[in-house]
Amino acid sequence: MRKLDEKTIVVASHNRGKIAEIAALIAPLGFTASSAAELNFAVPDETGTTFEENAAIKARASAKASGKPALADDSGLCVDALGGDPGVYTADWAETADGSRDMPMAMRKVHDALVAVGATTAERRTARFVCVLCLAWPDGHTETFRGEVEGSIVWPPRGDKGHGYDPLFQPTGHQRTFGEMEADEKASGGPGDGGALSHRARAFKLFVETGLSH
């Protein structure tokens, strides 16, 4: 693993929720975050078919443009009864005709798709959130860290915390959705969560343990 000496990391994202969450996770480690959004970097086309490929595309683009290490997150909701959809196209399911994102509409799409295939019980609504972090250097070197959390899809959505599909997802072993949990609870989890509950927190745990343990 390559040692990360630079203390400023570019968060390769234009998503305010992700930028804030990543910045909060790296701050206690002594790292300062800037972002592709505040640096006015163009959004690269995510042409990959896996989370790893898309995370690398974003991280490399910001590392090259900034001359600093860049950290990208590619994440999504994978629903078993839908063959793993929306998967890498999770964000696309929320896109509207004017280019904005409508999360209530996206969550309704997931629910309606499950109803269409007859997945109306909790046992048929198993799903997982996946997060892949990619750390890229300006010379093109990359390292990736993958985190997953198992759970199920609930309807109607519950909670107004977090972002994205959080109100739709109830992690296994918990009675509340991510949308009902505070950010620090998602980051740390409880007994049986291994010190990290959310997919992003689990990917960061690997990032810290393997990417920063020099």
CB 15 within 8 A of CB 43: no
Q: How far is CA 122 from the centre of its chain?
A: 23
Structure tokens at 63: 């590392």
CB atoms within 10 A of CB 121: 9
Task: Give kind and range of the element (H or E) at residue 153.
Answer: strand 142-153
CB 57 within 8 A of CB 6: no
Could you confirm whether 74 is annotated as catalytic? yes
CB atoms within 10 A of CB 124: 15
From 5, 45, 73, 74, the catalytic residue: 74
Q: Cα–Cα distance between 75 and 182 in angstroms, integer?
A: 19
Q: Cα–Cα distance between 176 and 179 in angstroms, integer?
A: 8
Q: Cα–Cα distance between 107 and 93 in angstroms, integer?
A: 9
DSSP 8-state assignment for residue 30: T
Structure tokens at 134: 């990619």
CB 2 within 8 A of CB 143: yes
Q: Which residues are catalytic?
A: 74
